[in-house]
Amino acid sequence: MARALGDVRRPHHWLAAAARLQARIVLAELLARFPRFAVDAAAGTFAPGNYTRYATLPFTAG
């Protein structure tokens, strides 16, 4: 039981799980409030560097 409550060997897994849960809740609330929310991925620009990520990502909240 103690191991389930606090696995100190890998705390980053707990933080990542909490972040994913928070993101899921935020997106659900955003889509509930703005049902016509849309992202224009084709108009987005990518940031320079070794990782693929957007520098800009236009959206409409409708």
Q: What is the CA radius of gyration of the chain?
A: 17
Q: Where are the domains of the chain?
A: 2-60
Count of CB atoms situated within 10 Å of the CB of 37:
14
**pLDDT digits 0-9 by tens, 1-24:** 455 555 566 777 788 889 999 999
Report the percentage of the chain scoring pLDDT > 70: 84
- 9 vs 54, higher pLDDT: 54
Nearest to 44 by CA among 56, 34, 33, 32: 56
Residue pair 57/38 in contact by the 8 Å Cβ criterion: no
Sequence-ordered list of residues with C-beta below 8 angstroms from that of 6, at least 6 positions apart, any chain:
none
Q: Token digits for 48? A: 């320079």
